Amino acid sequence: MMITPLPVNRDLILGSLSKGVRSDGRRLDEYRPIKFEFNVISKANGSASVRIGDTYVLVGVKAEIGKPFPDTPDEGVLIVNSEFVPLASPQFEAGPPDENSIELARVIDRGLRHGGAVDFKDLCIIPNEKVWILWVDIYVLDHGGDLFDATALASIAALMVTKIPVVVVEGSQIVVREEKRPLKIVDYPVSVTINKIGNYLLLDPTLEELELVEARLTMFTNSKGEICAVQKGLPGAFTYDEVMKSVELAKSKGRELRSILLESFNNWDKNVRGALNGV
């Protein structure tokens, strides 16, 4: 779907990378400012938006009751979808999700799943029959470079504030109460995407830098510092040393991103509780 390449000053970008600074003054391993907003959509069971510099993404979670997969009869279901809507970039075309959007959704799905974000057993209502299905819908609203990391943060953030109705099983009947409860969040997987331009590895590329990125490596880590999903993308290659350097970057930067996520969540949570208590 990437049709017309942006005009990019290659020499200028490479020149500044060689000095260890980017054209906007950042270090190679520095993200632009990250801002969270929680529960921005009241009709969703949970939602969050994330901005990383110019990148702006929104994730909404909808919960519904449905059938479990036959191989996991006592676990809930997580389904991740993503939409690259045309207003986010002139390079995005209207239509069904293309391979870029499908890849993103599947990688986020794996990160959340193997990162152990949600307790799936907690989503079981009647084994083999009824479980909660969580639809995680990713909306890319403004493409500013690093879509994987922004949407990964927005997805876990949205799950952290998701509330589902309390259900009671009476015989074979399910009674859905008005009262709502949060999901059981077990871990906070985050993604760090390493972008390769020439011999340089950089994080959070701008759109201009992105035009020069030859290969990217998205790595999810959990709070134990374990790697829980990896995806190499774009038609370039990495050396073994670059991959191992990326692992270290993913661990250290992942910790930073996770603490920004938790701090933003705690601040928001305090304010919400404060408002409820009339403070």
Partner 1 sequence: MSGKKRLIDENGLRVDGRRWNELRPLKIEVGILSNVDGSARIIQGKTHILVGVYGPRESFAKHVSLPDRSVVRCRYRMAPFSVEERKSPAPSRREIELSKVIREALEPAILVEEFPRTIIDIFIEVLEADGGTRCASITAASVALADAGIPMKDLVAACAVGKADGKLIVDLSDMEDKYGEADVPVAIMPNKNIITLLQMDGTLTSDEFNALLQLAMKGCKRIHEVQRKALKDGFGEIKNLVLEE
The site for partner 1 (CB under 8 A) is made up of 99-100, 102-103, 105-106, 110, 114-116, 215, 217, 222, 225-240, 243-244, 247-248, 251
Residue 77 C-beta: closest distance to partner 1, Å: 15
Toward partner 1, which CB reaches closer, 23 or 81? Answer: 81
Q: Is 74 helix (H, G, I), strand (E, B) or coil?
A: coil
Contact 133, 65 (CB under 8 A): yes
Task: Name which of 62 and 114 has its Cβ closer to partner 1.
Answer: 114
Instruction: Please say which residue, 195 or 231, places its beta carbon nearer to partner 1.
Output: 231
Q: Residue 58 or 229: which CB sits closer to partner 1? A: 229
Residue 6 C-beta: closest distance to partner 1, Å: 16
Is there a contact between 206 and 187 (Cβ–Cβ < 8 Å)?
no
**Exposed, middle or buried: residue 28 (CB in 10 Å: 0-12, 13-18, 19+)?**
middle
CB 117 within 8 A of CB 186: yes
Of the pair 34, 229, the CB lying nearest partner 1 is at 229
Sign of CA dihedral 219, 55, 79, 75: positive
CB of 192 to partner 1, least distance (A): 13
Q: Closest distance between partner 1 and the C-beta of residue 235, in Å?
A: 4
- The nearest distance, CB 75 to partner 1, in angstroms, is 11
Ramachandran assignment for 116, one of left (phi > 0), alpha (psi -120 to 50 degrees), beta (any other): left
- By C-beta, is 12 or 102 nearer to partner 1? 102
User: What minimum distance in Å lies between the beta carbon of 247 and partner 1?
Assistant: 5
Instruction: Write the single-letter amino acid at 247.
Output: V
CA 214 to chain centre: 22
Q: 239-247: long-range contacts at Cβ-Cβ below 8 A with a sequence spacing of 24 or more?
A: 242/196, 242/201, 243/217, 245/201, 246/194, 246/201, 246/217, 246/219, 247/219
Measured from the CB atom, the residue of 3 and 276 that comes closer to partner 1 is: 3
As measured in angstroms, the least distance from the Cβ of 114 to partner 1 is 5
- Element housing 267 (H / E): helix 240-276
Structure tokens at 215: 């290969």
Distance CA 66, CA 132 (A): 6
